[in-house]
Amino acid sequence: MTLRERIGVDLGGRRRLEDGLAWAAAHRVHYVDACLEGAPDHPNAPASWTAARVASLRATCERHGIHLGLHSASAVNVAETSPLLAEAAEQYLRTYIDLAGRLGAEWIVVHGGYHFTGDYAARRASSLQRLKRAAAHAERSGAHLLLENLNREPEHAEIRYLAHNLEECREYFGRIQSRNLGWAFTVNHAHLVPEGIDGFLDAMDLGRCGEVRVADNHGRYEDHLRPGEGTIDFRRMFERIEGGGYRGHYMMAFGTLDDMLAGRETLVRAAGA
């Protein structure tokens, strides 16, 4: 596939998935992420996937050469320690893994959760163990999880994401060796920490990377800008990632669908492809 064909669009949970796939097919977008979140009556909610709907969706993906991935919500705390919520976090991940098999989703983006001021150790331990169990369930189910490096929060924030910097990411991937747990490399999140994009690429194994997530920012705080509106050097990013042998897909996550469609051309130009 050409680089343009490898650049996909994160549909989020903004629309009925079938409508998002129709848009992707019309614009020759071959990779999409989708979130199955929202109220119980949300059009993509897990309970809405009847056998007939699943069959239709899988046929659409096959007909148009669309590769589907699921993207769980970072707002769900995978590091949960409360007895009242811990089982819900377990069930949340199991539901995504089981649905991926039904829908034919090729990957599921997951997260490390978050901790509060003063409870880092307990939340980190809970997160690691829960993701180990999720990876084991993925092995049994044939699903493929991709752990995303999340964003740095401001210095005085009460809540901070886990697996947000290089040190934490290396620990997660060092301690969870499952063949069914890979890496979703979010370059705009890496741009927020001192080690930066180059630091992640120097230290992490690109062979474990299953998705490169793309937006721009100014390196100060989380802000999903269109490529060229921030300070990320996308030409260098492509040189490092493609030069490192990566041949997987990229996933844009910023603005509107039209913004991402235009952003695809900006990225192709930046790569010199």
Paired sense of beta strands 250-252 and 7-10, if any: parallel
Q: What is the pTM of this model?
A: 0.96
pLDDT in tens, 146-194: 999 999 998 888 999 999 999 999 999 999 999 999 999 999 999 999 9
Please name the CATH architecture into which domain 3-271 falls. Answer: Alpha-Beta Barrel (3.20)
Task: State percent of the chain over pLDDT 90.
Answer: 92
Give the amino acid at 246: Y
Q: If you ran DSSP here, which 8-state letter would residue 32 be given?
A: E
pLDDT in tens, 30-63: 999 999 976 667 889 998 999 999 999 999 999 9
Q: What is the 3-state secondary structure (H, E, C) of 192-237?
A: CCCCHHHHHHHHCCHHHEEEEEECECCCCCCCCECCCCCCCCHHHH
Question: What is the rounded distance in angstroms from the CA atom of residue 68 to the CA atom of residue 119?
Answer: 36
Identify the pLDDT of residue 69. Answer: 98
Cα 179–Cα 180–Cα 182 angle in degrees, nearest 5: 90
Contact between 103 and 57 under an 8 Å Cβ cutoff? The reply is: yes
Q: What is the mean pLDDT of the chain?
A: 96
Indicate if the pLDDT at residue 267 is higher than 90: yes
Identify the pLDDT of residue 101. Answer: 97
